[in-house]
Amino acid sequence: MRKIPTVFRRDPDDRKRVLPEAEPSCAWVLAGEGVATRKYDGTCVLLDDDGVWWARREVRPGRTRPPGYRPVMTDENTGKTVGWEPIAQSSYAACHFEAVARSGSWTPGTYELIGPKINGNPERTAGHELVAHAEADRFDVPRDLAGLREWILAHPQFEGLVFHHPDGRRAKIKHRDFA
């Protein structure tokens, strides 16, 4: 799991806003490459090939990493390190346990943990659930700033979109990037 870059460059004077130009590493999105999927508003978890569950965790610069933490990358802009911690020590452990209990079979991969105790439950689920990132809803969306802004603002129930390139690259755009 690497931090997913935003499709458009961020305004250096207001990092919450995007500029009408592509982030160079995401120009493939505007060229019409890849598939757009729904970005769920929850927290990322991973089931590894050994059947072990992990929770995504960001560690700020100067902070102690939790036991068993597996760093993946450090963000150049914020200095935060993104990685995985064992799910059992995550603050979402009980929510995750409930979500896993809802189904008997899970395949290795990443999932979005959503539910009543996750981010204020913007997905409005009755209980905690795991949504496989590989199985997220796919959409045919515009590939320019104005078109994406219009599409995303017309779908306020979505946190945003994640674009998946066949070679594994990903890019995102969030509803709040246009708010």
| 113-171 tens-digit pLDDT | 999 999 999 999 999 999 998 777 899 999 998 999 999 999 988 899 999 999 989 99
Tokens of 119: 């981010």
The sign of the CA dihedral 90, 93, 96, 101 is: positive
Distance of CA 56 to the CA centre of its chain: 10
Work out whether strand 81-86 and strand 70-74 pair parallel, antiparallel, or are unpaired: antiparallel
Per-residue pLDDT reduced to its tens digit, 9-64: 988 888 888 888 999 999 999 999 999 999 999 999 999 999 999 999 999 999 99
Report the distance separating Cα 131 and Cα 117, nearest Å: 15
Global pTM reads 0.83
